[in-house]
Every structure is written in structure tokens, then in C-alpha cells.
């Protein structure tokens, strides 16, 4: 039965090969610091949908949640058909206070992206929205890799070690999911664009284009 887990119990379970840590906090909380190897799926209206899209079947899940959101996170994942061992009592704060290893994702503003575009020859902009969203309008030269495909080995094999990956979605939720998946694959040279494409469109000197059908 799913339950509250002490730090010691959580650590012991997390080291098993079939276990995956799911972090359901807010995107900005996750990028600011998380347990290495965690997958971000922020608790919200599409929580179950994203869990089903990106989590592999047969994994035993451990949860890191905000205080008061433990039971909701557990129930929604169980309702979606996942097996959950429990959640870390005290959440991420307990992990951090125990001086356990932590990871983070660099958040940048859209205007920082604009400043980097002319100078970063190794920049790879990854748009993790759907093809339908992307085709309406996108950053020039951005690659469209929807969230559920970002950790496909056939795709990640194309990234070079020196590439600087800049990830964005529409508003800043899906790109954090994508960043967490890439981090799990050992790809750490990445940045998350805060506010997503909504913020990008507000910056004048970021080149945008729309998809054109080949005539």
C-alpha cells in the first residue's frame, strides 16, 4: 500500500532498478532544484494525461510532492494505472536539508535567448509543442520535437556533446517535462525558456516564421 516514506526508506527504494521518481511540484520549483533522475510532471489538470504519455509501463513510482498534495498525486497516478510505492515525507526540502545530491535546470528569459541567438554557434532550439502548434508559428531554425519524443534514442543520438539546447513549449510546463527527460538520459547542457513561446513572441528581435506547404 502507498505510504509516507522516511528519507532512508525513500533512498533505499530509489536505488532499485525498476523505480522511477516523479516530482509533482510546480515547474519553477522543480527547475530550482530536484533529486537527480527525477521526472517532472507538475500536478494540474492534465497530470494524468502526461503521466500516461511519458511514463513507461511496469515502473514502480516514488513521489516528491508539495506538502498537502501527496494524496492527490498518489490517487491520480493510481487511477491512471500506475503502481506507487509512496512519497517522500517532508518532500524535496528533507532531501536537500540532508545534503543529498541535487540537480537543477537553468531557466532563462526570452530576451536572454534573443541575446544568445546571434552569437551561439552551437545553439539548438527545441520546440516541444505539438506539430500543429509549431506549424502556426515558430522560432526560425527551431527543431520540433514533441515532449513524448524527446528521449527517443533515435533523436537524442543526433545531439552533440557541445550543443547548447534551448527548450521551450507554449507556456513553460511541457518544456520542463522535456528537460527532466533529457536530464535522465545524461544530457545536461540545456536551458529552459521561462514563459515558453508566449514570452518569445513578445521579444521583437527573435526571428519567427510560419510553416509553408511545399508547392
Residue-wise pLDDT for 76-106, tens only, equals: 999 999 999 999 999 999 999 999 999 999 9
Task: Establish if 214 belongs to a structural domain.
Answer: no
On whether both 22 and 70 belong to a single domain, the answer is yes
- Do 92 and 131 belong to one domain? no
The model's confidence at residue 57, banded by pLDDT at 50, 70 and 90, is confident
Output the CA torsion 157→161→166→169 (10° steps).
Answer: 20
Average pLDDT over residues 16-41: 97
141 lies in some domain: yes
Sign of CA dihedral 144, 148, 153, 156: positive
88 and 140 both lie in a single domain: no
Number of domains in the chain: 2
Residue 215 lies in a domain: no
**One domain, residues 202 and 118:** yes
Domain hosting residue 75, numbered range = 3-97
Task: Write 198-201 long-range contacts (CB < 8 A, 24+).
Answer: 198/170, 198/171, 199/109, 199/110, 200/110, 200/113, 200/139, 200/168, 201/137
Higher-confidence position of 31 and 210: 31
For the domain that residue 14 is a member of, what is the CATH number? 3.40.250.10
Distance CA 73, CA 69 (A): 6
b/e burial code for range 43-57 (CB count within 10 A of at least 16 → b):
beeebbebbeebbee
Amino acid at each position: 500500500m502507498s505510504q509516507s516514506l522516511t528519507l532512508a526508506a525513500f533512498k533505499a527504494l530509489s536505488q532499485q532498478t525498476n523505480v522511477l521518481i516523479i516530482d509533482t511540484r510546480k515547474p519553477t520549483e522543480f527547475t530550482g532544484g530536484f533529486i537527480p533522475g527525477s521526472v517532472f510532471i507538475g500536478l494540474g489538470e492534465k497530470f494524468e494525461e502526461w503521466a500516461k504519455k511519458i511514463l513507461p509501463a511496469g515502473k514502480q513510482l516514488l513521489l516528491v510532492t508539495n506538502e498537502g498534495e501527496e494524496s492527490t498525486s498518489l490517487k491520480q497516478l493510481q487511477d491512471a494505472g500506475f503502481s506507487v510505492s509512496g512519497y517522500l515525507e517532508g518532500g524535496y526540502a528533507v532531501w536537500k536539508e540532508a545534503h543529498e545530491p541535487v540537480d537543477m535546470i537553468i531557466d532563462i528569459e526570452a530576451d536572454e535567448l534573443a541575446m544568445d541567438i546571434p552569437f551561439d554557434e552551437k545553439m539548438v532550439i527545441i520546440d516541444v509543442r505539438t506539430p500543429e502548434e509549431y506549424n502556426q508559428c515558430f522560432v526560425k531554425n527551431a527543431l520540433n520535437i514533441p515532449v513524448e519524443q524527446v528521449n527517443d534514442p533515435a533523436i537524442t543520438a543526433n545531439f552533440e556533446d557541445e550543443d547548447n539546447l534551448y527548450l521551450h513549449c507554449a507556456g513553460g510546463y511541457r518544456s520542463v517535462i522535456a528537460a527532466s527527460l533529457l536530464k535522465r538520459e545524461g544530457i545536461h547542457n540545456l536551458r529552459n525558456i521561462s514563459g515558453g513561446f508566449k514570452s518569445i513572441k513578445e521579444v521583437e528581435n527573435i526571428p519567427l516564421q510560419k510553416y509553408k506547404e511545399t508547392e
